[in-house]
A and B are shown apart, each in its own frame.
Chain A
């Protein structure tokens, strides 16, 4: 056949040694796949772009506190561990180390549960071990789930120690977390992701960027949606990242979960949390120290935000940009030095966008600069809101304020506004692409956040004006003026079901 191409004859996956489910040490895999291993190792190198990368100083130093650039972060996180220590992310090689040293998680502090390991360590052997002990006759999947729950009930450091005992040494994300050791096919392992996707598929939230979910929905639904069974190869190239780069809840006393029951949009996630009850109260992450309002915390919703962008819609996966193919001889290998695409524009972008490197960089910068200016504006609005709420609170004693927050409709409304405004702002700020993954959607969320913050400020001023001595009569002021517009934080969500 004259069309036959001169392919590299040798099998790219000629295995020199066998690897298995318990091989969390990447060095062993590196014997078979040295190119990928080389890239993987390099995630320990510091890199920097205008807004991304890991802006670290000399060897051994930590990335800067996020609040150094965005001081308003300290205000919105008042009373929460993120006000204490919250740094820029950096390469995968550091994930376990950074979790061990963060002040959010001090040994003996009993602040965190084993949940945290879900995304910072090659943790599956621990889940399997504990699951097998608890459910010796369960299916592997049942055992993993049970193991997950067991780890959730442990103190972080106990779980960490047990993992170390099982695997010899605890490792950050490793080959086995994304690859089936038998076939090297991509696969997802993390139970919270599997459960989250099951619930997302079962919902009716539109996910045009995930064709296999839409396909599953049209089918018999006899078995729940399973990324490893139903996902397309292109989807898997994002799913492996979606195991960790997502919004989650993993507070003590609960098993980690991804809140996708109603969809992946910020409002849909908010609705999921708002619909949850913990000890007879509406779900909260913490109580804001300055205002006493029960608020939510958003973490790195890259997968969710990517889902709202035009790239996802066009079938472009995380790995297309963050692990682009590179050429080694006649072979194409995936760059396993996972990092900012702006450090590798020709491969990451120019295969699809045939422009020069400088031009592509400028395009991203235009998006990011616009975004950053808006983010800062939203942060300032949030600070103004907090100042105003604090001023209102001054007129109450502690018990009076608690009561007002629960029973006085006007004060209550202030709390709702803060919760909604802060959720949107945090959701955008915690996302790591500085606007790039979905520029218009993120600008919309910031606009809403600004509006809600300012409305809270206005509400606070009205309250101050109306009841000059609120402390004296905190419960009196309880008829909401009919002129008050409804909060409608979810209007967009409802318009586009």
Chain B
């Protein structure tokens, strides 16, 4: 399941729903991204997440479908927030549940790696020196590369 929303999410409730009643789940791997109060050596007051409505949902759905094709998942979830967020706020949740832990871990890492390079979100950080668009990180592109050749249509 995928969701793009301004509201915060209840991490415990989301994870409980994800595996509830499914006795085939042996492992649940989860990643939560949070807003830090520092970016490099600069203090951050808040950030605004812009996205491309329509394409965002399309890409997230495709990333999730790709994960389900690659690993035997019992359940998966991507929630990404948009709008204004402050330090300590939750930005993103990705979760993958499988019979075995390695599949859950790998799928979870894949989901966030692909999301970070393919889903059309942009961060605008507010610091003492004004607002600044965050630059994409080479390490994110490198992280995505480990999942080998993307298929047509999901390529950046």
Indicate, yes or no, whether A interacts with B.
no
- Interface residue ranges, B against A (CB under 8 Å): none
Residues of A that sit less than 8 Å from B by CB: none
